[in-house]
């Protein structure tokens, strides 16, 4: 075997521990597959005295990044700190020194991918980020390599485990949003501040990365329409079941003649759709290509060892390039400039739940308002809820978003309409 490939870890939190365990526990196997030993030679931490829950040589630890940057023997820098700063500064400095970088930082890649890829290209270093989107599920490399001959037409996926756990629990047990959130927090699936997860921001960052690769055009977080699950109720879950749907928080990206469509929102999908059976903290990504047809990638979307698995595989890939002196890492694939399709121009079917006065003529007036904006109704369910109030549930035919929103504005102004309780898009049919 050839020289040892030396690696520095930036961070020893959940993912960092996973990477350490994999690289040390599977060292012999990894060395044979790479063609040389891969060794962790430095670990950057904030507190040198803190108990990390793993056995390691304290001499590996440093709280000074300069020790890593100035070490000519360190070939690969692995960023598993999370957050933007100081991670971005550390990664940029490593790339400029010609050190390859492996990261699982979705925020950094989603917001600063363009400049990071430019720095990597300028120095000839590698920038690999398989662990940034779906934990242990391979998706970045398949899009960049295995499916590279395809024109990707659509990506639709469950890429946030917290919300999928919550919606799965609400569906199985009929519990409300607040209880599902409390249980997700108790199990460690949701943070004390769950905003990024439950409001869809985590999934939106991941979708921006996937769409940029799939459609060869830069997609940023600001381009993604985002809507979370906090308005989903047990009643919506029950109606979905009655209509033979399941509610999931989906990340959807499509290439259309009007531009790239990128959106994250709660979605009703048919019970027989492949994504409908993806439950708990599992993730799945459905990809449609013009040559391959439909494919789906499924597995654990987060966690110490699943994400560590993706990061370790990227380290091995970077190590092989160094060992065999192979130039030409697959860099930025955003070589086109495609417009982003406005959300108002997207099309879906819609589920709408209304609370209205229970008297003759109400349904007719609502149907007239929808018809005035060219919204066609596919089905209507009306149920009494209390003395003088009724609940109406409607599912539309496929309609443009702007037409639907205009119709809802008219409906909301009707005197018999107490409120629009919810509106959920329907996909996958």
Both tokens of residue 306?
Answer: 């699943």
Say if CB 308 and CB 22 are below 8 A apart. Answer: yes
Which pLDDT score is estimated for 229? 98
Residue labelled with tokens 């909301």: 412
Please tell me the distance from the alpha carbon of residue 168 to that of residue 424, in angstroms, as a whole number.
17
Both tokens of residue 188?
Answer: 């460690």
CB half-sphere exposure, 195, CA atoms < 13 A: 1
Nearest to 400 by CA among 419, 373, 424: 373
Mean pLDDT for 226-242 is 97
Q: What percent of the chain has pLDDT over 70?
A: 99
Say if CB 427 and CB 346 are below 8 A apart. Answer: no
Please tell me the distance from the alpha carbon of residue 176 to that of residue 190, in angstroms, as a whole number.
16
The kind and range of the H/E element at 318 are helix 304-323
Q: Tell me: pLDDT of 419 over 60.
A: yes
Which pLDDT score is estimated for 327? 65
Q: What percent of the chain has pLDDT over 90?
A: 90
Q: Tell me: pLDDT of 397 over 90.
A: yes
The whole model's pTM is what? Answer: 0.94
Please tell me the distance from the alpha carbon of residue 32 to that of residue 38, in angstroms, as a whole number.
10
Please tell me the distance from the alpha carbon of residue 346 to that of residue 228, in angstroms, as a whole number.
18
Say if CB 47 and CB 63 are below 8 A apart. Answer: yes
State how far the alpha carbon of 415 is from the alpha carbons of 361, 379, 382, in Å. 12, 23, 18
Handedness of CA 144, 150, 152, 158 (dihedral sign): negative
Which pLDDT score is estimated for 19? 97
Return the SS3 of 346: coil
Which pLDDT score is estimated for 427? 96
Which pLDDT score is estimated for 386? 72
Mean pLDDT for 148-169 is 97
Look up residue 227 and give its DSSP letter.
Answer: -
Please count the other Cβ atoms lying within 10 Å of the Cβ belonging to residue 141. Answer: 17
Both tokens of residue 150?
Answer: 């395809």
Q: Which residues are catalytic?
A: 206
Give helix 161-173 / helix 177-186 axis angle, nearest 10°.
Answer: 130
Q: Tell me: pLDDT of 1 over 60.
A: no
pLDDT tens-digit series, residues 50-77: 888 898 999 999 999 999 999 999 999 9
Both tokens of residue 70?
Answer: 């100035």
Q: What is the mean pLDDT of the chain?
A: 95
Question: In 3-state terms, the chain is what percent helix, strand and coil (to 5)?
Answer: 40, 30, 30
pLDDT tens-digit series, residues 240-288: 999 999 999 999 999 999 999 999 999 999 999 999 999 999 999 999 9
Mean pLDDT for 403-409 is 98
Please tell me the distance from the alpha carbon of residue 247 to that of residue 353, in angstroms, as a whole number.
14
pLDDT tens-digit series, residues 324-343: 887 667 778 899 999 999 99
Q: Tell me: pLDDT of 193 over 80.
A: yes
State how far the alpha carbon of 173 is from the alpha carbons of 112, 126, 250, 329, 351, in Å. 41, 47, 21, 48, 22
Nearest to 230 by CA among 172, 282, 162: 162
Mean pLDDT for 371-385 is 91
pLDDT tens-digit series, residues 103-143: 999 999 999 999 999 999 999 999 999 999 998 999 999 99
Say if CB 382 and CB 363 are below 8 A apart. Answer: yes
State how far the alpha carbon of 274 is from the alpha carbons of 155, 248, 304, 362, in Å. 13, 12, 26, 38
Which pLDDT score is estimated for 332? 83
Mean pLDDT for 205-212 is 97
Which pLDDT score is estimated for 330? 75
The kind and range of the H/E element at 113 are helix 106-123
């Amino acid at each position: 075997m050839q020289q040892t490939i030396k690696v520095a870890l930036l961070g020893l939190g959940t993912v960092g521990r996973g990477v350490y365990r994999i690289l040390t526990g599977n060292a012999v196997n990894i060395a044979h597959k790479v063609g040389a030993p891969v060794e962790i030679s430095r670990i950057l931490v904030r507190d040198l005295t803190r108990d990390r829950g793993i056995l390691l040589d304290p001499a590996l630890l440093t709280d000074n990044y300069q020790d890593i940057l100035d070490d000519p023997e360190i070939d690969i820098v692995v960023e598993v700190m999370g957050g933007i700063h100081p991670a971005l500064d550390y990664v940029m400095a490593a790339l400029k020194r010609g050190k390859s970088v492996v990261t699982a930082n979705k925020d950094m890649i989603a917001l600063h991918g363009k400049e990071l890829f430019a720095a990597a290209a300028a120095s000839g270093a590698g920038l690999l980020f398989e662990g940034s989107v779906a934990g242990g599920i391979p998706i970045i490399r398949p899009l960049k390599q295995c499916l590279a001959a395809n024109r990707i037409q659509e990506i639709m996926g469950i890429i946030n485990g917290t919300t999928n756990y919550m919606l799965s629990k609400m569906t199985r047990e009929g519990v409300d949003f607040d209880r599902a959130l409390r249980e997700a927090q108790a199990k460690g699936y949701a943070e004390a501040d769950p905003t990024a997860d439950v409001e869809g921001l985590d999934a939106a960052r991941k979708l921006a990365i996937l769409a940029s690769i799939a459609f060869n055009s830069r997609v940023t977080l600001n381009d993604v329409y985002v809507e979370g699950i906090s308005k989903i109720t047990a009643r919506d879950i029950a109606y979905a079941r009655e209509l033979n749907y399941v509610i999931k928080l989906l990340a959807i990206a499509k290439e259309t003649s009007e531009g790239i469509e990128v959106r994250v929102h709660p979605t009703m999908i048919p019970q027989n759709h492949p994504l409908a059976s993806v439950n708990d903290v599992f993730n799945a990504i459905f990809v449609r290509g013009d040559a391959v047809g439909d494919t789906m990638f499924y597995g654990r979307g987060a966690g110490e060892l699943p994400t560590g698995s993706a990061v370790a595989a990227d380290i091995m890939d970077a190590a092989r390039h160094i060992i065999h002196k192979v130039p030409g890492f697959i860099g930025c694939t955003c070589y086109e400039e495609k417009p982003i399709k406005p959300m108002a121009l997207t099309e879906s079917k819609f589920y709408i739940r209304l609370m209205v006065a229970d008297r003759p003529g109400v349904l007719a007036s609502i149907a007239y308002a929808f018809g005035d904006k060219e919204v066609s109704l596919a089905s209507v369910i009306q149920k009494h809820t209390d003395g003088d109030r009724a609940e109406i549930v409607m599912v539309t035919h496929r309609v443009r978003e702007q037409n639907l929103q205009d119709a809802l504005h008219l409906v909301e102004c009707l005197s018999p309409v107490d409120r629009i309780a919810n509106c959920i898009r329907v996909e996958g049919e």
